Structure 1
Amino acid sequence: MKKIGVLTSGGDAPGMNAAIRAVVRNGVYRGCEIIGIKRGYEGLLNGQYTEMNLSSVADIIHRGGTILGTARSEEFKTNGGRNKALEFIKKVGLEGLIVIGGDGSFKGAQELCKLGVPTVGVPGTIDNDLNYTDYTIGFDTAMNTVLDAISKIRDTSTSHERTNIIEVMGRDCGDIALYSGLAGGAESIILPEISLDIEKICEKILNGIKRGKRHSIIMLAEGAGSAIDLAKSIQDITGIETRTTILGYIQRGGSPTAFDRILASKMGAKAVDILLDGEENKVVGVNGNDIIAKDIDMALKTEKRFDKSAYDLADILSR
Structure 2
Amino acid sequence: MKKIGIFTSGGDAPGMNACIRAVVRTAVYHGLEVYGIKRGYNGMVKGEISKLESFSVSNTIQKGGTILHSARSKEFMTAEGRQRAYEQLKKYEIDGLVAIGGDGTFAGANIFHEEYGIPIVGAPGTIDNDLYGTDYTIGYDTAVNTALDAIDKIRDTADSHDRVFFIEVMGRDSGYIAIPCAIGGGAEIVMIPESETTIEKVVDTLRTGWSRSKTSFIVIVAEGDVAGHVTEIAGKVQSALPHMDARCTILGHVQRGGAPTAADRMLGSQLGIACVEGLLEGRTNEMAGIANRELVYTPFIDTITKIKPINPYYIRMVDILSV
**Contact 2:143-2:256 at 8 Å conserved across structures:** yes
Which one is further off, 307-316 or 244-253? 307-316
Aligned partner of 1:317 among 313, 316, 321: 321
The alignment's C-alpha RMSD in Å is 1.0
Residues 1:288 and 1:304: Cα distance change in structure 2 (over 3 Å): closer
Q: Does structure 1 residue 285 correspond to structure 2 residue 289? A: yes
CA deviation string 1:76-130 (max 9, x = no partner): 0111111110111111110000000000000111122111110001100000110
Matched with 2:98 is: 98
For 1:51 and 1:129, the matched residues in 2 are separated by: 32
Alpha-carbon distance between aligned partners in 2 of 1:197 and 1:297, rounded to the nearest angstrom: 34
Cα deviation for residue 313 of structure 1 reads 1.2
Q: Match of 2:177, SS?
A: helix
Per the normalisation by structure 2, the TM-score is 0.97
Note if 1:249 corresponds to 2:263: no
Query: What do residues 119-169 of structure 1 show as CA deviations (whole Å, max 9, x unaligned)?
Result: 001100000110221111001110001100110000000000000000111
Greater mean deviation of Cα atoms: 113-122 or 289-298 = 289-298
Q: C-alpha separation between the residues in 1 aligned to 2:58 and 2:302?
A: 35
Question: Which residue in the other structure is 1:233 paired with?
Answer: 236
Q: Secondary structure at the residue paired with 1:10?
A: coil
CA contact (8 A) 1:190 1:221 kept: yes
Q: How far is the alpha carbon of 1:300 from its aligned partner?
A: 2.6
Structure 1 position 303, deviation (Å): 3.2
SS of corresponding position for 2:87: helix
Residue aligned with 1:223, SS: coil
8 Å Cα contact 1:157-1:215 kept in structure 2 = yes
Q: SS in structure 2 opposite 1:245?
A: strand
Aligned partners of 2:69, 2:270: CA distance in 1, in Å? Answer: 21
Higher deviation after alignment, 149-158 or 108-117: 108-117
Is 1:153 matched with 2:178? no
Contiguous gaps of at least 5 residues in structure 2: none
Contact kept? 2:132, 2:302, Cα under 8 Å? no
2:303 counterpart residue number: 299
> How far is the alpha carbon of 1:282 from its aligned partner?
1.3
The answer to whether the Cα contact below 8 Å between 1:171 and 1:192 also exists between their aligned partners in 2 is no
SS, match of residue 184 in structure 2: helix
After TM superposition, give the deviation of residue 49 of structure 1 in Å: 1.6
Alpha-carbon distance, 1:204 to partner: 1.5
State the distance in 2 between where 1:218 and 1:189 align: 6
**In 1, Cα distance between the equivalents of 2:254 and 2:301?**
32
Q: Percent identity?
A: 49
Q: Which amino acid aligns with 2:78?
A: T
* Cα pair 2:4 2:98 within 8 Å, conserved: yes
What secondary structure is seen at the aligned counterpart in 1 of 2:99?
A: strand
Q: Distance in 2 between matches of 1:233 and 1:305?
A: 29
State how far apart, in whole Å, the 2-side matches of 1:249 and 1:223 are.
Answer: 15
TM-score by length of 1: 0.98
The equivalent residue for 1:59 is 59
Q: Which residue identity lines up with residue 67 of structure 2 in the other structure?
A: I
Q: Which amino acid aligns with 1:289?
A: R
User: Are 2:17 and 1:17 equivalent residues in the alignment?
Assistant: yes
Q: Which amino acid in structure 1 is aligned with residue 204 of structure 2? A: E
Q: Which deviates the most, 243-252 or 189-198?
A: 189-198
Q: Any stretches of 5+ residues in structure 1 without a counterpart?
A: none
SS at match of 1:67: coil
Q: Is the 8 A contact 2:14 2:139 kept in 1?
A: yes
Question: 1:112·1:119 contact (CA, 8 Å) conserved in 2?
Answer: no
308-317 or 240-249, which deviates more: 308-317
Counterpart amino acid of 1:311? I
CA–CA distance in structure 1, aligned partners of residues 68 and 303 of structure 2: 25
Please give the alpha-carbon distance, in whole angstroms, between the structure 2 residues aligned to 1:171 and 1:280.
Answer: 28
Q: In the TM superposition, what whole-angstrom CA distance separates every residue of 1:203-244 from its partner, at most 9, and x where no partner exists?
A: 211222222222100000111121111111111111201000
Task: Write the letter of the residue equivalent to 1:45.
Answer: V
Measure, in 1, the Cα distance between the counterparts of 2:282 and 2:292.
Answer: 25
2:217 is matched with 216
Q: Give the match for residue 74 of structure 2.
A: 74
Q: Is the 8 A contact 2:21 2:60 kept in 1?
A: yes
Secondary structure, aligned partner of 1:24: helix
Q: Does the CA-based 8 Å contact 2:39-2:69 persist in structure 1?
A: yes
